[in-house]
Structure 1
């Protein structure tokens, strides 16, 4: 019995944990990649990785505050002899300080985890892992001493001893994690990102023992007799451990999935953020994805939220132990069944009912990560780690220990080294080291402590990873023209993106290598040379670069086709002879037509090309010219025609001889410019159409509104009162006038010849005014309504018949323009 207790205690007390996080030497690195997710889910957004695969990553360790080892023996393993004889190991030290003993063992194995960047803002990861944690808490020094000595410690016999909240918890489970992280604010000095991991957690196995207020006493003469006083004990295991027919217990995998979570947020202060922007391959404002941009970074995360679901196996028990002088000298627990049978026999009447299901709470923790970019790859990190779920009343839990971590490091793309300083919840100081050597990572939380100190160490830790990292590279632009080498057709000569990195000095869309005029903007079809006049002849060979010309004349024009270029042709639009500088000579008298007063008759130079004297040069010889000193037409005997209005059109041809006009309108003006001369334009000051005699067009639907108003207008018999049945048509007329502000309305009243003329004249007036008043009431300006009344003076039908008189009683409405 003594050996069994001693072995159980010493084995258990050695399974004690890395007192804070897994992968401590690596998770602060900016190249942590998928490994950093366990500490900060937001870390993969805006990371240095395109994608990162962790083929395998392992972290294992143990720490405690009871059993220490001389670090010298770690480096001289041949000194480790007779491990079974714990009491005689000179290189082991037991910490007797009167305080409870505690510790924890942890193992994490990541299985083919990977992450990849979706965009500048998003990243996703998948992280399957197997994790094991064993906690041993609140073990009194008396129990540790008794167990260590196999109960053979007489000075503790005969004493009533107590132990509060004795706890032994173990949990092993599988996580299938999916992480999503996103940049929340990416531009400017203040950068933020957040991430979350959602895990499907499945239990592998768990066990627990919890004794709330243990009160016990060994017989003062022997350790074979034990008394336990009113003590509540809970112990059990998951139903993965099951009993087979021969009474032994085996393991089976039974999973009851649960959802667990991590959440993280990161803030970065980037005072020089613009230094990490660049333009490349036609895109602007790109981030340098291979560079860290922050001066200071602060992260906050909460991890392992939730619990793993289990069902208790049949040997799980909650009971009250209250027994005096229990003889334990002949107990020998050869199997779990034997242990369970003994408890059943002794405490059967004190068992409580326990629920079939239970949850093992995960080691929830809050972490703060503060990181300072010191200089060119050198960083300093301070990360307090606050472990939760450590309450003494929680029977089913595993937990980490809080710690304070300071981690200076050097980070580069393929190499990194960190020196973590860790002060743990066990009040121990550890100094470790982590190395990143390309795809191989190896580290320890306390390797330096083992190398540099002679003090006994109370645990050890090691972590390693094998990765396939694919990182963002720096932009490669050999010639500095903002076109990447792989897309640059001229990688050694600065160019522009439009030319795929080749130079285009004149920016005409033709690369210099193909540009015949590389310093002057030109046309692609002319090999990059300009052609200002658009004649298809480049300016460098075009003797008339500003005027369209012909290739035969080196780009100069010959408008009249006489083979004399226009710049040297005195008559560029009339074909002529070279001797007359390109001017014609119809009569062949050697005098150019432009200088020949008689171009169709051979003449003399003295007579200005005429065979006779013509003083005024009007083609009428002076002997026949009635006005020899004033030019005039032949048919008027050399005298000019009168032009009263001085419009250049003789009165004989001028339809408006007293008003200046144009030849297009035979001497008449067109004041409103509507193409209809004022003589025939009924609206000479308002542009109109020929169909309406120069007045504006009145559309068919508009005329129908006017006709309708006229047709529907009725008055009370013998009165100037408009019937209500006429209002709708008048309202439509008013609406038309509002839409057409250029329209004016002529309202003319008429009567038949029944009655006195003066009475009829008054009635026609009043009815005309009644229509005007109605339209004024609808918002039509008074200046747009012209009223006339004629009584019975303008009949349109025979007044001798009733039908004729009815037609004559009317108020006419028509559109006029002024």
Structure 2
């Protein structure tokens, strides 16, 4: 029994097993799928477009109880017998330490105890990664897949007395106990021990996505889903047990508080055809990771390629990177009616083990082990002696959940400094695995084909200082989290190594032979710089027409003209345009014809007015033989001597200057007549048929002085219309209704011009009684005044007079003359 226990403990302390954290590799930007086990977000925005991990094997062991000081390295016990020259050279064994079969033989004296009163711990871990690969779904998403075999053995929280009894047996006269360290029949209380053995296959899928890519700020996240197929599981959990030793081959356990579970040995000895690899149970797990990168020099990695703004995928862009991850969240559930068992002993159980117990165990082993399995026989003995409080055909093993934080700082180019904190999240009494916590600082140099780093770690829950090393050259790497222990033979209480091979396809900035921003993959003209629009073929003048189709390669033009320019946009290319800077007509070789008369502006004497070719493009709208630009009245047929203006009344004054164009007049009065020749023109002469004075408005006798205002022609027209349309009933002062419209226009003028006063003078012919005629003329003037006042015009603005037949404007000897003399005149006065 002693030798068996000693062998187990020795293996725990000295065997080569798989690595645990692999710090140097995990933090590298070139570790591919291996970095996903550290942080799932590493799958995206990696330096690889595809990464295939051909294989990785890792070995790890550590303990805080036994130290190896031997004549050969403990790895030699496993690797030297392989016969592989490199292993035999690195871990050499002297011939004196080999047995007859050529196997290294260790000596018990090489194992030194660490006796300090603390509980003891030991860990072995083995891992084989296979079929691991990852690839990009796009610039912001990636997938990874992997499988690995994980084998772990842990013995934790073993009380020192129990550890020493296991190491040296129960002989109180043995050398380590000569000073009374072991007293027969003494009850050693409060002993504890926890053992977990676990082997399983893990199949994982990882998805990562870039969440933020905004200038200096970059954030990505990843998640890994895991499916577990258990291969073996065993646990023993004991919080407190009392031990008494009665002799070298007899001892007892008292007040035992023990739970244990296992996969029965018959699962591995029964006919394989009756089993399937998934019948022991299954499990699920998850890893979560997030990464933040600060990229102050992001612009130096940006470039334009194939019409898009891109970031160089081959480069690490951060000044510093912060990562956080939760790993190995989950468990494996063992469940099988035939092969899986778990038990809890009755509280305060008592077990006495001596030669009789051992003999009984051997008898039952011979009788029932083949049918029920050796472990079932042990269960039966324990049940008989101590009794079970509960039993089951299933149990659960937890994964070694942990939380990690990593800070990576880029010192210069490929040189980095890294800090890692890994905190175990499992307690002491967990059924399953419990990892150690650690702190690590790692200087590192990395490049596409070469990596070297030296992790400085405070491990085993911050109690042990260790130095590691990681080296990668091309697709091959080797590393250790306890590097010195690989090559020394002294003071070894732990060692590890990991080694692997990969096929990496690195992400690269697209090749662009002619430096035109179009990658060789898409460039149809690789030897000549071009543009993305034409897949790398040139457009020298940048007009959107490929040179091979451009008829004017060096002059920027339009697609519709095969790349030839048309500066004035007149649809005539410059090479054919006689007026290239002025929009023109195709029919006139691109020269303009502003007035559209068929004569180009350059030769058109009147370029903005259409005219016939006979007059060099100048018009004569009124056809009077005088060109419009010299015709003062271009729209009315006129006389040459009057510059093209008409003279309807033939008085030698053109109509446009004649205030009385239909009555012959004199120049002095702007073409208006002065019938009585008194120097007062008829249109302001109150007595046009009698010679008068200017002071008396052309009348011979003294009358009230009236100042007549000169008003605009359009306003004068309103007075004229009112005069022409004013009618009264025969012999009466009643205004006819047909006159109202023109009088209303006069009202509008008076309202518009509040400064105007109106003078209304009534006149008759000489027919009838003179006195009555005078009264009738006044009544009619007053009737007009009253109408205007009724429409809102202040009467003070209206002056009226009646003159009867005393002021004729024509002869009373004819009906026509008398008609003209019967009138009511309007004047605007001051």
SS in 2 for 1:354: strand
Q: What is the deviation of 1:457?
A: 1.9
- Residue equivalent to 2:402: 365
Q: Deviations over 1:330-355 (max 9, x none)?
A: 64757864565366346515211223
What is the CA–CA distance in structure 2 between the aligned matches of 1:649 and 1:238, rounded to whole Å?
A: 134
SS in 1 for 2:533: helix
Q: What is the deviation of 1:158?
A: 1.3
Q: Deviations over 1:659-700 (max 9, x none)?
A: 69xxxxxxxxxxxxxxxxxxx9xx99xxxxxxxxxxxxxxxx
Q: What is the deviation of 1:204?
A: 2.0
Q: What is the deviation of 1:103?
A: 1.1
- Residue equivalent to 1:167: 194
User: Which residue among 107, 113, 126 is the counterpart of 1:107?
Assistant: 126
Kept after mapping to 1: 8 A contact 2:469/2:479: yes
Q: What is the deviation of 1:417?
A: 2.2
Q: What is the deviation of 1:62?
A: 1.6
1:302 equivalent to 2:302? Answer no
- Residue equivalent to 2:205: 178
- Residue equivalent to 1:4: 4
Q: What is the deviation of 1:203?
A: 2.2
User: Which residue among 468, 474, 478 is the counterpart of 1:438?
Assistant: 474
Summarize the alignment of residues 200-211 of structure 1 with structure 2, pairs less than 5 Å apart: 200-211=227-238
- Residue equivalent to 1:68: 68
- Residue equivalent to 1:458: 493
User: Which residue among 92, 95, 104 is the counterpart of 1:77?
Assistant: 92
SS in 2 for 1:260: strand
Kept after mapping to 2: 8 A contact 1:181/1:195: yes
Kept after mapping to 1: 8 A contact 2:647/2:661: no
What is the CA–CA distance in structure 1 between the aligned matches of 2:243 and 2:327, rounded to whole Å?
A: 39
What is the CA–CA distance in structure 1 between the aligned matches of 2:663 and 2:546, rounded to whole Å?
A: 65
TM-score, with length taken from structure 1: 0.64
What is the CA–CA distance in structure 2 between the aligned matches of 1:34 and 1:507, rounded to whole Å?
A: 46
CA 1:232 to 1:635, structure 2 compared with 1: closer, same or farther past 3 Å? closer
What is the CA–CA distance in structure 2 between the aligned matches of 1:315 and 1:41, rounded to whole Å?
A: 35
Summarize the alignment of residues 190-201 of structure 1 with structure 2, pairs less than 5 Å apart: 190-201=217-228
Q: Deviations over 1:113-139 (max 9, x none)?
A: 232333333333223332221101233
1:226 equivalent to 2:263? Answer no
CA 1:659 to 1:559, structure 2 compared with 1: closer, same or farther past 3 Å? closer
- Residue equivalent to 2:465: 429
CA 1:255 to 1:527, structure 2 compared with 1: closer, same or farther past 3 Å? same
What is the CA–CA distance in structure 1 between the aligned matches of 2:518 and 2:297, rounded to whole Å?
A: 24
Kept after mapping to 2: 8 A contact 1:236/1:317: yes
Q: What is the deviation of 1:478?
A: 4.2
Kept after mapping to 2: 8 A contact 1:560/1:575: no
1:378 equivalent to 2:395? Answer no
CA 1:13 to 1:355, structure 2 compared with 1: closer, same or farther past 3 Å? farther
What is the CA–CA distance in structure 2 between the aligned matches of 1:443 and 1:375, rounded to whole Å?
A: 24
- Residue equivalent to 1:126: 145
What is the CA–CA distance in structure 1 between the aligned matches of 2:660 and 2:413, rounded to whole Å?
A: 89
1:283 equivalent to 2:320? Answer no
SS in 1 for 2:574: coil
Q: Deviations over 1:196-249 (max 9, x none)?
A: 222223322201223332322333xx4123233332333331358449899xx9
- Structure showing greater radius of gyration is 2
Q: What is the deviation of 1:41?
A: 1.4
TM-score, with length taken from structure 2: 0.63
Q: What is the deviation of 1:252?
A: 6.5
- Residue equivalent to 2:260: 235
CA 1:638 to 1:500, structure 2 compared with 1: closer, same or farther past 3 Å? farther
CA 1:203 to 1:551, structure 2 compared with 1: closer, same or farther past 3 Å? closer
Q: What is the deviation of 1:38?
A: 1.2
- Residue equivalent to 1:327: 355
Kept after mapping to 2: 8 A contact 1:504/1:512: yes
Q: What is the deviation of 1:359?
A: 1.0
- Residue equivalent to 2:158: 139
What is the CA–CA distance in structure 1 between the aligned matches of 2:193 and 2:58, rounded to whole Å?
A: 27
1:54 equivalent to 2:74? Answer no
Greater alpha carbon shift after TM alignment, 121-130 vs 290-299: 121-130
SS in 2 for 1:528: coil
Q: What is the deviation of 1:35?
A: 1.8
What is the CA–CA distance in structure 2 between the aligned matches of 1:571 and 1:360, rounded to whole Å?
A: 104
SS in 2 for 1:278: strand
- Residue equivalent to 1:693: none
What is the CA–CA distance in structure 1 between the aligned matches of 2:17 and 2:445, rounded to whole Å?
A: 27
CA 1:257 to 1:563, structure 2 compared with 1: closer, same or farther past 3 Å? closer
CA 1:198 to 1:575, structure 2 compared with 1: closer, same or farther past 3 Å? same
CA 1:351 to 1:324, structure 2 compared with 1: closer, same or farther past 3 Å? closer
Kept after mapping to 2: 8 A contact 1:569/1:582: yes
Summarize the alignment of residues 331-730 of structure 1 with structure 2, pairs less than 5 Å apart: 331=359, 337=373, 340-341=376-377, 344-345=380-381, 348-352=384-388, 353-391=390-428, 393-394=429-430, 396-425=431-460, 427-451=463-487, 455-491=490-526, 493-504=528-539, 506-511=541-546, 515=550, 517-533=552-568, 537-540=572-575, 542-546=577-581, 567-568=602-603, 642=655
Greater alpha carbon shift after TM alignment, 195-204 vs 372-381: 195-204
What is the CA–CA distance in structure 1 between the aligned matches of 2:236 and 2:113, rounded to whole Å?
A: 24
SS in 2 for 1:257: strand
What is the CA–CA distance in structure 2 between the aligned matches of 1:627 and 1:314, rounded to whole Å?
A: 131
User: Which residue among 217, 237, 245 is the counterpart of 2:244?
Assistant: 217
What is the CA–CA distance in structure 1 between the aligned matches of 2:406 and 2:323, rounded to whole Å?
A: 5
Greater alpha carbon shift after TM alignment, 80-89 vs 418-427: 80-89
Aligned Cα root-mean-square deviation (Å): 4.9
User: Which residue among 184, 204, 215 is the counterpart of 1:158?
Assistant: 184
Kept after mapping to 1: 8 A contact 2:56/2:498: yes
Q: Which runs of 5+ in 1 are unaligned?
A: 585-592, 600-615, 652-657, 661-679, 685-818
Q: What is the deviation of 1:466?
A: 3.1
Q: What is the deviation of 1:143?
A: 3.9
